[in-house]
Amino acid sequence: MNQTLKRTLQQQQPRAHSATGCKQAPGVIVPVVNLKRCEGKGDCLVVCPEDVFEIRRIDDADYQSLGMLNKFKLRVHGMHVAYTPNADACRACGLCVTACPEHAITLARAAA
């Protein structure tokens, strides 16, 4: 997602939480995005105080692993999904889980 679009989304929905309110140390819990549910709307990107998420075109390998119905759904919604390139910065505040209208995000313990 380009920076202009990210700024526009953030201006439309200002962050409701600061990083100081999250009690978990970074990297213990990470967000997991279910690509079968994600529509790339960007609500997670807007509310995350740690910049864990990015919205971008789905990777070819991820796209190929989906079933026919999920592929169709992605095409309808623009082929964009949420990825977590900075998952190790997550402090488990849970704002992304609450904000996601598709319920595509869960929090899980980071792999050791």
Q: How many domains does the chain have?
A: 1
At residue 106, does pLDDT exceed 80? Answer: yes
- Other CB atoms within 10 A of residue 53 CB: 26
CATH code where residue 89 lies: 3.30.70.20
Residue whose entry in the numeric block shows the structure tokens 């967000």: 31
How does pLDDT run across 10-35, given as a tens digit for each residue? 555 544 444 456 778 888 999 999 99
Measuring CA to CA, which residue among 41, 50, 60, 29 is closest to residue 99? 41
Please tell me the least confidently modeled range out of 3-12, 17-26, 43-52. 3-12
Q: For the chain, give the DSSP string.
A: --HHHHHHHHHHS-----GGG--SPTTSEEEEE-TTT-----HHHHH-TT---EEEEPPHHHHHTS-HHHHHHHHHTTSEEEE-TTGGG-----HHHHH-TT--EEEEEPP-
At residue 101, does pLDDT exceed 60? Answer: yes
State residue 36's pLDDT score.
96
Supply the range of the domain harboring residue 9: 3-109
SS3 68: helix
Distance between CA atoms of 19 and 47, rounded to whole angstroms? 11
Distance between CA atoms of 98 and 23, rounded to whole angstroms? 17
Question: Which is more confidently placed, 82 or 14?
Answer: 82
